Amino acid sequence: MFKRLVLDHWTLVMPILAFAFTASVFMYVTIRSIRMSKSQREELAQIPFDEPK
């Protein structure tokens, strides 16, 4: 019974892995941005998006 369950639902592995990877990257970026020091936040806030032409 266990072999049948594993073999019948093998296609669910990739979406679960993709979701887990995406969620872990999102959580890493979120936690890193929350823990960022105030001086780093101020420095990054001053970076221009467009270079002058």
Instruction: Give 49 or 24, the one with higher predicted confidence.
Output: 24
Start-end of H helices in the chain = 2-8, 13-34, 38-45
Asked if residue 5 has pLDDT above 60, the reply is: no
What pTM was computed for the model?
A: 0.62
Average pLDDT value for residue range 17-22 = 95
Torsion of CA 38, 39, 42, 46, to 10 degrees: -160
The confidence score (pLDDT) of residue 12 equals 79
Instruction: Give 48 or 51, the one with higher predicted confidence.
Output: 48
